[in-house]
Structure 1
């Protein structure tokens, strides 16, 4: 165990210094597995945001002129620091989110380390020019950025914003979720230790309606990148509109998973259930609507029931699923389970009652609903808990119609007899991401959604593009 109490959680990190907040209010970070307080984290104010933006704006004047090689060296040094403090990062995420540590390592930490090095390798793209007829096309950094990150994948989304911003030559202010801020403090210490110039990175934790709103509306911020609910994303965009700043949003999802008639049903249903149950269902890309051929439906229901009942809950090394992130989130998930029952869905496994032996902690049973129709609340709204809905279909045209009948379009999945057979179905799905036959998330590829799931992309080279302004230089013909 590492000692998280040594982190500077009573301070803000602004202009290369640990500083006091102008407000000084504290927010308790609660361990969802034990319901005990981990620590208090200071809350920033709009005045603190002003100071951080001022520092970032001043730093941008010189940071934007650094070479790609310099910025790549900083990113590699940050990745080295993440490797050196990996156990601390694992604990920081695990203890505040509730994800078992052995899963946190590969689900929450390994990928962000890889992504940091990925953007170090691509910083050179900022110095490349393209020819278009008699014009040159140059890339320049967008400027000062405000980052608002979520509680469910806190390090993942931190790196998905901070690493490409550094590679592009931007400066930034980061606001973590009040529930899971600890990994940002570890990252701030790492960033400080590698000597990133003062003001390039600033950390201002605090409440969304205060710090998040100040970042979104600030006239000296050129871009705001937000990950969270669609409802909150609308507020961010509304606050950003008067200053015409760039807005990048990764928002909600209610993603479909089509199992084709020729698929390996056992493998497909098992993978689909585990996709929903991992991270206790608190995954925006979770494939929570499982679409199954009607003539194999009951077989699929039995497989899903068995998988749910096999899931080990807890925080130890044999646990697959930890608690939900908070008491409030547990109540939200329980209310959706009750709603599913009241609307006529068949409860196959799980339910709203506390799991036996886990009365302490914000635990919920992995839950499976059958006989779900796509007009039910549990099929329309993002539950953000370990709840999956099985929906029958008569043919693939109907399956695709059901899949696309959603205001969201973040993720999707298809399991067919082989990957090649899945691609014609994939092309008809209205989603920015699709998992085929159990394919894994890829940090080299763009991530983002269609429709009300957001705009813009993170990760891959498209993630770097979000931080770039293109300049056309008209040369003599």
Structure 2
């Protein structure tokens, strides 16, 4: 069994202050494949001390020095991308093809995007219309980073890289459910030659390490990705020290399918997006709103697409769907499918229980509900599993109203052949991201949402800016007489 029980603090792998081990479970067979340590407040203290010491020198390094480190990290990451994909597949159940091509590859894409953004970022500039007022963007300080299990490297890189590129130092606490990918990332950082203390890794759970980080007076900023409930806890714990808090939280994203779209392509694409990563994506389009004139056709296409979705062992190559990440997640999804049935939604594909041929592992059936109304629990709660709710609408105005009737506002999707309608509707949707007719979300584009989907934006220029303070200097003269 793989043993990764040390933490990476001040440029060295060290044992935790108090030994407390945790087995990491492979969701495909429910067996432990690795062991880590759960840290404590004492380990956080060590990491904060190292990060504060390193901030003194790292914060004043040049753009060129930080770019050189990013280039080295990119090279190391590429050389170990197969190791990263295997770790992600083992710890959270992503099929190995998807783990390599999407999960691990997201790290490469984001590092490249941050290199582009750092080259262009203006850390100093004059205030518009004021030649003697200088704006200086300076690193906020020591940053506590808490990342989730569902897209481990996507989120680790979206936080660690821009923070360090901005001149900050960091303490990373990955999810204890999927920690091995972050241990490998720490090995990459170590191999990249980053000065000691700039990056630190402490494994642990939320109530111990996460809470200690959020409340720590030596941490200047917390960046958290996870559930809205946990994000509220981080915010409350951070309040006493008035530190900045950046949150990327849940979603219940609408996917509006108008009759003037290519309905077959739009519905199939939407269903496949929900089932990608076994539905464990915060921006998944889990509410499909369909214009009534094509609703019957859409439900047939959705059911056929779900029934054609293969479920299989994540260690095998292919485009199949893997298991959910844990027993807790499995039980939650099963309960919400049961809830949908009780509420009277029409089950047209999938349902409760494991797929045929599986008697262990956290595998679930790709599930589609039709005739859902937006007051049902399955239309309001983030299920975080391969479950789609289909809702009919009659008018454009009704579609927008249903789409916005949610406590979340992370992403929204529009399928239409009418350019003017697309522009009109996209501006009315209360979401941080809108994707039209299957368009991709660029790595440089801001990722984040409205309402209870979070605070702040990640990615590219916006991701670097999130870790900076702005200082106004009056009386600045560039060309003194």
**TM over 0.5: same fold?**
yes
Please name the residue that 1:294 is paired with.
Answer: 292
Question: Unmatched 5+ residue regions in structure 2?
Answer: none
3-state DSSP of counterpart to 1:266: helix
Counterpart in the other structure of 1:274: 272
Inter-CA distance 70–31: structure 2 relative to 1 (3 Å threshold): same
Deviations 1:46-76 (A, max 9, x none): 0000010010000000000111110111111
Alignment of 1:124-273 (within 5 A): 124=119, 125=121, 127-132=123-128, 133=130, 134-273=132-271
Superposed displacement of residue 436, structure 1: 0.7
- 1:162-201, CA deviations, whole angstroms, 9 ceiling, x for partnerless residues? 1101110000000010111111111111111121111000
The CA deviation string for residues 329-386 of structure 1, in whole angstroms up to 9 with x for no partner, is 0110000000000000000000012111122210000000001000000001000000
Aligned to 1:428: 428
Structure-1 residue corresponding to 2:343: 343
| Aligned equivalents of 2:250, 2:45: Cα separation in 1 | 29
Measured at CA, do residues 121 and 264 of structure 1 come closer, stay the same or move farther in structure 2, by a change above 3 Å? closer
Give the equivalent residue in structure 2 for 1:73.
Answer: 68
Residue 49 of structure 1: aligned partner: 44
Distance 1:33 1:476, change over 3 A: closer
Q: Specify the alignment match of 2:392 in structure 1.
A: 392
Partner-residue secondary structure (3-state), 1:258: strand
Residue aligning to 1:107: 102
Equivalent residue number for residue 405 of structure 2:
405
Post-superposition, which runs of at least 4 consecutive aligned residues in structure 1 deviate over 4 A?
418-421
Other structure's SS at 1:18 match? strand
Structure 1 position 418, deviation (Å)? 5.6
- List per-residue Cα deviations over 1:64-90 (Å, max 9, x = no partner): 011111011111111111100010010
Cα displacement (A) at 1:157 = 0.2
Whether the 8 Å CA contact 2:278–2:321 is kept in 1: the answer is: yes
Q: 2 CA distance for matches of 1:355 and 1:464?
A: 43
Determine the C-alpha separation between the residues in 2 that align with 1:404 and 1:122.
Answer: 32
- Given the superposition, is the C-alpha separation of residues 67 and 440 from structure 1 closer, same or farther in structure 2, using an over 3 Å criterion? same
Please state if 1:28 is matched with 2:26.
no
* Number of aligned positions between the proteins: 472
> Partners in 2 of 1:156 and 1:320 — Cα distance?
21
* Secondary structure in structure 2 of the residue aligned to 1:243: coil
Taking structure 1 as the reference length, the TM-score comes to 0.97
Q: Distance in 1 between matches of 2:389 and 2:216?
A: 41
C-alpha contact (below 8 Å) 1:72/1:121 kept by paired residues: no
Matched, 1:116 2:111: yes
- 8 Å CA contact 2:260–2:418 kept in 1: the answer is no
Measure, in 2, the Cα distance between the counterparts of 1:192 and 1:356. Answer: 45
Runs of at least 5 residues in structure 1 that lack an aligned partner in the other structure: none
Contact kept in structure 2, 1:122 and 1:167, CA below 8 Å? no
> C-alpha offsets along residues 429-464 of structure 1, whole Å, 9 cap, x if unaligned?
000011110011211100000001100000021111
Change in Cα spacing, 1:463 to 1:476, as seen in structure 2 (3 Å) is closer
* SS of equivalent to 1:358: coil
Structure 2 partner of 1:88: 83
Q: Secondary structure at the match of 1:445?
A: coil
Contact 1:126–1:168, Cα closer than 8 Å, also in 2: no
Which residue pairs with 2:416 in the alignment?
A: 416
Q: Measure, in 1, the Cα distance between the counterparts of 2:470 and 2:317.
A: 49
| SS of match in other structure, 2:44 | helix
Distance of 1:318 and 1:87 partners within structure 2: 16
Deviation at 1:9, TM superposition (A): 1.0
Question: What is the rounded CA distance, in whole Å, between the counterparts of 2:408 and 2:83 in structure 1?
Answer: 35
Asked whether the 8 Å contact 2:27–2:323 carries over to 1, the reply is yes
1:320, CA displacement in angstroms?
2.2
